[in-house]
Structure 1
Amino acid sequence: MSVRHDACILAGGMARRLGGQDKPGLHVGGRPLVERVAAAVPDARRLIVVGSPRPGLPGAVFLRERPPGAGPVPALRAGMTAVTAPWVALLAADLPFLTAGHVSALFAAAEGAAGAVLLDEEDRQQWLAGVWRTAELTRALDGYEGRSLHGLLGPLGPVGLRLPGKPWFDCDTPDDLLRAGDGEPDAAENADKAVDEERAMNVLEEWTELVCRELGVDPARVDRDAVLDLTKEVAHGVARPAAPLTAYLLGLAQGAGTAGDDTLKRLIELAQEWERKTGD
């Protein structure tokens, strides 16, 4: 079935199980994952990527959800603003086995329906491996306030399609990368790096709990990711020694009761402003 369609690839997310790496940019078989997915939609009139701009996708329209990392529904909402074709292929950026033949089969299966999605080995619907009528998807998004793709797309009643070759397989973990790369050196290197970073995060979690016990602090009150973001911004924008000093000063302010709910966010903004001023 040949239909006029755009393609929307969701290439954001935090990739926590991969140590926060740039998952769409990880290589499998010598090629970034997101480029492999883009190659599966060669006939798309417009390629829309919701994520950071990438040099390997000339002609693509790059958009970002607000705020970045808000989740797949806000990302889809952002991407749909650029869709103009009657149909759209909605895809994740980490589908190493997806091919143009699989996408064509989805379009053929969707004839007479609102859309079609791939089914995995356990017949679970893969919401980021499907094709949709643009009008149906737009109507579903209008007024939808949930955060679940299942809640958004399930009521549309898409056709479920099982295809050989595991086109639904995505890369969420280091083991997934190794399986996808089938021994490719770049996949193994990415996986090793992810394992090392995952171990480091586990150590950090254990250390945080130990220090909290020592200091009598409830671990639930510690927004570790936010503090790490703060120290990263300060180290990069101001100076490395300023990062632990800033975290210490923030702790003093919180203990004294002078830190508000937005203090940490404001400190990040100050570090970014410092970098802009000193970089001019």
Structure 2
Amino acid sequence: MTAQGYDAVVLAGGAAKRMGGADKPGLRVGGRPLLDRVLGACADATTTVVVGSRRPTARPVRWAREEPPGGGPLAALAAGLAHVTEPVVLALSADLPFLSAETVRALIGALDGEKPGPGPAPAARRDAGPDADRATADRATADRATADRATMDRAGADRDTRAGGAARAEAADTSRAAWDPATARAGEADGTAGNEPADGVLLVDSDGRDQPLVAAYRTEPLRRELSLLAAEHGGLAHLPLRLLSAELTLRRISGPVPAASFDCDTWEDLASARARIREHGNVLDEWMAAVKDELGIELDVDTGVLLDLARDAAHGVTRPAAPLTTFLVGYAAGRAGGTPAEVAEAARRAAALAARWAAESDEGPADGGKTDG
């Protein structure tokens, strides 16, 4: 994870034409709206901007809207960038049911050539809740507008030296067609992508396709490129997303979770996602994540410890003791401070008690089973 921190821009304003205009960010997978699942993956962003219609969310975010509404991903990305202050920005679509914090860490880390791994303590959030410092936000927006005007002026000078939009789109397609996944994986292994520093890192799906909305970018190159595109085309509305990558230096990674780039574009995709989380290998972790999200708990729980405790209570005492014991352990840990260490300690003590309880039931009379008679 970059030590500088990052902001996140989540695009949630699409028309969902292939789903009949359904409110796609609000559709549920595993009991949680798709948008909330994405927000959970980037929970340690300094500021999270959601571009789309306002709606209840599991955590506070800043809202923005593209101009015109429904103007497409480039217009939406530009609207979100107006609120970004960190040097790195995560760009995400709102329909990624299997995006995880692990994948986010891999993207942010790969931008600086780092191998995926745990990052530093999360930066303090500046999400725009009801009590946010709006004066600070207004100053940042004003400063950004000044910077954008300067970039637009430079764009006018650069416009004649750059290829037109159609030629750039063709070049981007040719570049992707020539890209060798094996070469990209080799670049991922040593943290390089040619000799140039990367402007962004894209996730690549299992078929080798770029996912520019599962990506981390350096904020200023991204902002500059969007301004240049706006100058060339008279705006960003309805421009294809592939134009964005034609002039940026990008690194590609496959990511630690193969399904992270899976998106729900159709009802069939949604049904597939709902079935996947109910598979034996996924259902427990998905259920725990859903419960923590519903209860507003951010604690990383060692499910193995709790399952062992539930087993010991069920076998050594009685079956109904399992859920009641784990509840009491959680309550006790919460009163003590609620850290993972306190959960583990409360579970250890309860498991030891269950073991003593079971041992007593196996013991005979103190004299070895003999009685006077």
Indicate the TM-score class for this superposition, using the shorter chain for normalisation.
0.5 to 0.7
Q: 1:77 offset after TM fit, Å?
A: 1.0
TM-superposition CA deviations, 1:44-101 (whole Å, max 9, x none) = 0001000011212442111111111111111111111000111000000000110010
Q: Does 1:118 align with 2:203?
A: yes
Q: Does 1:171 align with 2:264?
A: yes
Which amino acid in 2 is paired with 1:153?
S
- Tell me how large the CA RMSD over aligned residues is: 1.6
Alignment map for 1:175-254 (pairs within 5 Å): 175-182=268-275
> Partner residue of 1:210?
none
Q: Does 1:155 align with 2:247?
A: yes
Deviates more, 1:137-146 or 1:17-26: 137-146
Q: 1:43 offset after TM fit, Å?
A: 1.0
Deviates more, 1:57-66 or 1:2-11: 57-66
TM-superposition CA deviations, 1:122-171 (whole Å, max 9, x none) = 11100110000001111111121361221112321211111233111100
Q: 1:13 offset after TM fit, Å?
A: 1.0
Please list every run of at least 4 consecutive aligned residues from structure 1 whose deviation after the TM superposition is greater than 6 angstroms: none
SS of the residue corresponding to residue 252 of structure 2 reads: strand
Where in structure 2 are there 5+ consecutive unaligned residues? 113-196, 279-373
> Partner residue of 1:51?
52
TM-superposition CA deviations, 1:230-262 (whole Å, max 9, x none) = xxxxxxxxxxxxxxxxxxxxxxxxxxxxxxxxx
Q: 1:184 offset after TM fit, Å?
A: 7.3
Separation of aligned partners in 1, 2:219 and 2:58 = 23
Q: Does 1:2 align with 2:2?
A: yes
SS of the residue corresponding to residue 182 of structure 1 reads: helix
Separation of aligned partners in 2, 1:131 and 1:70 = 22
Which amino acid in 1 is paired with 2:106?
A
Separation of aligned partners in 2, 1:184 and 1:33 = 13
Separation of aligned partners in 2, 1:139 and 1:2 = 21
User: Measured at CA, do residues 2 and 183 of structure 1 come closer, stay the same or move farther in structure 2, by a change above 3 Å?
Assistant: closer
TM-superposition CA deviations, 1:176-200 (whole Å, max 9, x none) = 0011111779xxxxxxxxxxxxxxx
Separation of aligned partners in 2, 1:155 and 1:161 = 19
Separation of aligned partners in 2, 1:154 and 1:28 = 34
Which amino acid in 2 is paired with 1:83?
V
> Partner residue of 1:79?
80
Which amino acid in 1 is paired with 2:55?
R
Q: 1:109 offset after TM fit, Å?
A: 1.4
Separation of aligned partners in 1, 2:21 and 2:33 = 16
Deviates more, 1:17-26 or 1:141-150: 141-150
Separation of aligned partners in 1, 2:104 and 2:55 = 23
Q: 1:8 offset after TM fit, Å?
A: 0.2
Where in structure 1 are there 5+ consecutive unaligned residues? 186-280
8 Å CA contact retained: 1:41, 1:100: yes
Separation of aligned partners in 1, 2:246 and 2:216 = 13
SS of the residue corresponding to residue 228 of structure 2 reads: coil
SS of the residue corresponding to residue 260 of structure 2 reads: coil
> Partner residue of 1:135?
220
Larger radius of gyration: 2
TM-superposition CA deviations, 1:192-219 (whole Å, max 9, x none) = xxxxxxxxxxxxxxxxxxxxxxxxxxxx
Deviates more, 1:57-66 or 1:11-20: 57-66
Deviates more, 1:58-67 or 1:100-109: 58-67
Which amino acid in 2 is paired with 1:160?
R
8 Å CA contact retained: 2:206, 2:258: no
